[in-house]
Amino acid sequence: MAAVMSTVISQMFADVVWHDTQQQAILIAAAIRGGSLPRVITPTVPGVDLVQVVAPDRRVLAASPMARNKPPISVARPEPNDPLQDLQTCSNPERGCLRYSVLRADPRADSPVVVAARRTNTVLSTGFVDAIVAAQAIVLISCVAGLTWAVTGRILQPVDAIRSKLAKITFSDLSHRIAEPAGDDEISRLIHALNQTLQRLETATHQQRRFVADASHELRTPVAGLRVKLEEAQMHPRDIDLNGLLEHTLDDVDRVQAILSDLLMLAGLESGAAAKRQRVDLAALTRAELKQRARTPPIRSSLEDGVTVEGVPSQLSRMLTNLLDNAQRHARHLVDIEVHRDSDSALVTVSDDGPGIAVADRERIFERFTRLDTARSRDRGGTGLGLAIVNDVVHAHSGTILVGESPHGGGRFDVRLPLLTEK
């Protein structure tokens, strides 16, 4: 901007000077064409005091008092088709810097030219204008830099406060929050987003710690049982029924193995590890599950063929296994399973005639190691992770699961999965 301003201002000054010299040259040329040119020219335009009429052989035919007995100011001779030229020079130390106009009096070959010049003082010199503009630019840049520094410092103060607060938050204590300032600017929204992130992180950390504690507690029970039985056998080897001991210890080992298997399943679902998905017919998958399942209590099925989804067969099979295990564990006499289309979804419904699930517990049952009062006895089986696995599998397949009351008065689980669209 400073360079453009300097160029524009300089050009404006030059245009003003050349306008005056052009006007004076035009007046003298008119006098030549009228045959009334005196030998001593009296300039009529203020400031233009150097005027000469120069012949083709470079003789000065007439001049103003300030230019008499001087060599030609310029030897330029404009062409007939371009009779006017604006020039400038600083080649003559005596005269100083000049801006002048050269005008051809008429198109004839022997036509004289009129040279009207004006000295350029310091105010009009390009160097002085450049210096003024440069000084203004330096002052302006300094002011802008100072203002930017001050404004940036004020803007970054909240950011530095955020950094200091975050530095104090550790993994062992995620309860701290950053004070949110009033307003709705970018800093306020940033702090609000950070607080939400800290809240989610604290919740996830709390759930993880609770999960680890629950898992340790669940594993401690069968391991402690194993230790007691083995220590008793070691202390009283003659009084121990070996077959009974092996049977009970194997039961405890089975329980530990089931818990570890469920934990590994949940860890795989949480990590989002890529598993190959393929076309799965839910009716066929359900029939395969029913063939290898005990029929006590009996299971009634209503399966619609061709209800296909895209998913991981092993995970979907585990979902069906856990739902049927849960239903048979709580049913009195009957379990129902249905697979059919419902609009653009595949609907899998598992219901029983057991005690049912209270409305207040219908979300809590999907938490890990959650057992309702009717299912707290470990003798009835289950690791407390079955429905948590079902919930994770359903969400991993972009589905939903709802808990309600079955027509028989027991629990009802409705699983909806997106149908596979034909390409």
Q: What are phi and psi of 104, to 5 degrees?
A: -75, 130
Percentage of the chain exceeding pLDDT 90? 29
What are the pLDDT digits (tens) for 66-94?
888 888 988 899 998 999 998 888 877 77
- Whether the CB-CB separation of 298 and 334 falls below 8 Å is answered with yes
* DSSP 8-state code for residue 289: H
Q: Give the residue among 18, 33, 43 at the shortest CA–CA distance from 104.
A: 33
- Whether the CB-CB separation of 382 and 329 falls below 8 Å is answered with yes
Q: Name the least confident of 21-25, 170-174, 198-202.
A: 170-174
More confidently predicted of 393 and 137: 393
The whole-number average pLDDT for the span 254-270 is: 76
Residues 6+ apart with CB under 8 A from 258: 383
The whole-number average pLDDT for the span 28-47 is: 88
b/e per residue 333-342 (b: at least 16 CB within 10 A): ebbbbbbbee
pLDDT of residue 63: 92
pLDDT of residue 264: 78
Q: Name the least confident of 14-23, 296-305, 395-404.
A: 14-23
Q: Give the residue among 365, 347, 369, 357 at the shortest CA–CA distance from 404.
A: 357
Residue 375 has pLDDT above 50, yes or no: no
Q: How far is Cα 366 from Cα 261, in angstroms, rounded to an integer?
A: 18
